[in-house]
Amino acid sequence: MHAADSVSNMSVRRTPPTGEGFQHSSIRINLENSDLWKSFHNVGTEMIITKHGRRMFPHCSVSLSGLQPFANYVIMVDMIPVDGYKYKWKKEQWEVAGKAEPQPPCRTYVHPDSPAPGSHWLKQSLSFLKLKLTNNTLDQHGHIILHSMHRYYPRFHVVQADSLYTVRWGPFQTFSFPETTFTAVTAYQNPKITKLKIDHNPFAKGFREGGTHSHKRCRAQGSPSGSPSAKKVPKPSHESPQSLQKMRLHTEKGLTSTEQSQKGPHFSAWPPEQDASDRLHAEPLDMEYDYSCEEQMVPASLPYNSYRSLEYGRYPFPTSEAEPAQEQPTVHPLATAEYTAPQHPYHHPYAYSNTADWSQHPLFSYTCW
């Protein structure tokens, strides 16, 4: 594993630059194992989802900086559909197979250490190893529910809050990484992904190293991925420190997708807004390219809005929340004038009356409660 030496870094352009209500204005988030993610992304990351829940591999691991040491934070992750399509694996590539299924209940995984002071989060990287994905829409274990053959990306939320119950009042920031996009599957489709997983995932050693029944069986039956002594996949040449440094950090707060696309070529591909035909294959992350991570605004998650907008509409934002942040330092940043996406109004779920309701909200599931 090369987690420590590979970091995808993300900075946050805070708005406004001053104001006590935005104390975490310099929050930065790094994807710890970004090299591994990129290796998978270059092939077309697939994540197994099962009825009882399956961990992600690679798993989400990030490090934070810029937090206030004595302020409490809650760190959360949810999964956002990349687009409105479902896919199928055909002739060694992904093809669009129609419109996406209606979105399952949206759940958020809360990091088990939450809430914790900034000093705690700054000490070491955060691992979301225990986050599990399921295709069971009736799941009661709090796993994140996804549709098979659909594409998603994880979204990280850093919320300044003293408890899970005050999260809804805390200012928060949202981050995502382009290389973490994946296709949810119930069985691996791309043999290259299988090979990568076997090479990197310690739990798959039994399949990597020879001598086991499974391997002999796989090999005897000509499984394309069942090679017990699978060769180590050479590290992509683009993983040099120099190329990593080229990954300019960029976050755009309060930009519409159109505005984002005008900021640079990489924004046309992230957040995922492009035509599905552009994404049929794995999207190699060209390191020479100014590929970057940006803050993925919660309300700007357009692919999800068709599903969520109705829900948000049920919980109108208090009028006072829409005041400029400078005047109301404690107001939610997404409700500030800086947030210019009126066509996709984001309403903080003030009106959620219980955790069951919250669990259906992207930021308020009971996953880890």
Q: Does the protein bind DNA through residue 320 (CB under 7 A)?
A: no
Beta strand 108-110 with 72-90: parallel, antiparallel or unpaired?
Answer: antiparallel
Residue (148 or 328) nearer to DNA, CB: 148
Q: Does the protein bind DNA through residue 204 (CB under 7 A)?
A: yes
The site map against DNA for 143-182 (x = CB under 7 A) is: ----xxx---------------------------------
List, in sequence order, every residue forming a beta bridge with 28; answer none if it has no partner: 65
Q: Does the protein bind DNA through residue 352 (CB under 7 A)?
A: no
The site map against DNA for 35-64 (x = CB under 7 A) is: -------------x-xxx-xx-x-------
Query: C-beta of 248: minimal distance to DNA in Å?
Result: 32
Residues 121-150 that bind DNA (CB under 7 A): 130, 132, 135-136, 147-149
Query: C-beta of 246: minimal distance to DNA in Å?
Result: 30
Residue (218 or 249) nearer to DNA, CB: 218
Residue (85 or 291) nearer to DNA, CB: 85
Q: Which of 65, 93, 225, 328 binds DNA (CB under 7 A)?
A: 225
Q: Which of 21, 142, 170, 226 binds DNA (CB under 7 A)?
A: 226
Query: C-beta of 122: minimal distance to DNA in Å?
Result: 22
Q: Which of 9, 30, 194, 251 binds DNA (CB under 7 A)?
A: 194
Polymer length in residues for the chain? 369
Beta carbons within 8 Å of 56's beta carbon, 6+ residues apart: 47, 128, 131, 132, 133, 182
Residue (199 or 357) nearer to DNA, CB: 199
Peptide bond just before 69 cis, omega within 30 deg: no
Q: Which of 18, 119, 163, 186 binds DNA (CB under 7 A)?
A: 186
Stretch that binds DNA, among 87-95, 115-123, 278-286, 304-312 (CB under 7 A): 87-95
Beta carbons within 8 Å of 310's beta carbon, 6+ residues apart: none
Residue (200 or 347) nearer to DNA, CB: 200
In the complex, which residues of this chain contact DNA (CB under 7 A)?
A: 48, 50-52, 54-55, 57, 88-90, 97, 130, 132, 135-136, 147-149, 185-189, 194, 197-198, 201-207, 209, 211-214, 217-218, 221, 223, 225-226
